[in-house]
Structure 1
């Protein structure tokens, strides 16, 4: 028994020391503590609210936030260097890949957008939509923005060719 106690005590001390390092402690961000901002007009059409939820510390590259689109609001065309996951939490929206069909998304739906795939997402014309967006950054950049989605593209009448 004596031979078992010494290694367990050493393990306990190592765990305590690891927790004492500030960059090795669990961090909780309480709901409502992250500042929400209006979506930038150069990247969004309509009223959009963006709330950053988390950003991993290096070497992690992951970050995420909640994005709320009022009816008719949407992103501009854009890509992500390492892809993006959307988790719809409220309302009804659309997602569309360039050259593809506009797809309706609803609460509980999860959308995976592969790396470098040109796309947009947003609310329908009659319903708002909220989703959690999760993406990884490559060389410090998680998104590359392009031009706005036209009203015809948003309505599903046309879509530019692309990746």
Structure 2
């Protein structure tokens, strides 16, 4: 066993994010057959991802602030520290902070055989997408 070296925090690209978003990789595969990755992602107030989906789904555990997540059907879920959101494989969605506060989450992602296909990025989220129909606290299953 060993302690993982710390990776640099990097600002995410504007093609995939609107506003200031930083990511720090905290888990990556080391051995054949390992596919799990995890990253600490920090969103400045009002920052958001573009629409995207994940080949094998994604877990997002909220650390700080209120997170907002939206889907193509217009639903917007607010998720709070200590809660975990699951997005199933192929579901197009976005993540955002609120307009008045920072938000941090840990993103857990399972890579497929070709890591370049793990996430499919789409167009930027509009203000109408952000408004959606909000459900406070999300649903727990």
TM range (shorter): 0.7 to 0.9
Within the alignment, does 1:56 sit opposite 2:29 as a pair?
yes
CA apart distance, 1:156: 2.4
Mapped partners of 2:105, 2:121: distance in 1? 19
Task: Give the structure with the higher percent helix.
Answer: 1
| Contact 1:93 1:122 (C-alpha < 8 Å) held by counterparts | yes
Give the one of 105, 108, 113 matched to 2:87.
113
The normalised TM-score by structure 2 is: 0.87
Task: Give the structure with the higher percent strand.
Answer: 2
Larger Rg: 1
Mapped partners of 1:98, 1:28: distance in 2? 40
The residue aligned with 2:18 is: 45
Mapped partners of 1:96, 1:155: distance in 2? 9
| Contact 1:93 1:105 (C-alpha < 8 Å) held by counterparts | yes
CA apart distance, 1:122: 1.3
Give the one of 7, 24, 28 matched to 2:3.
28
Within the alignment, does 1:134 sit opposite 2:108 as a pair?
yes
How many positions carry a matched residue from both structures? 130
Mapped partners of 2:110, 2:2: distance in 1? 19
* Moved >2 Å (runs of 4+): none
| Contact 2:65 2:80 (C-alpha < 8 Å) held by counterparts | yes
Structure 1, unpaired ranges of 5+: 1-25, 158-163
Within the alignment, does 1:98 sit opposite 2:75 as a pair?
no
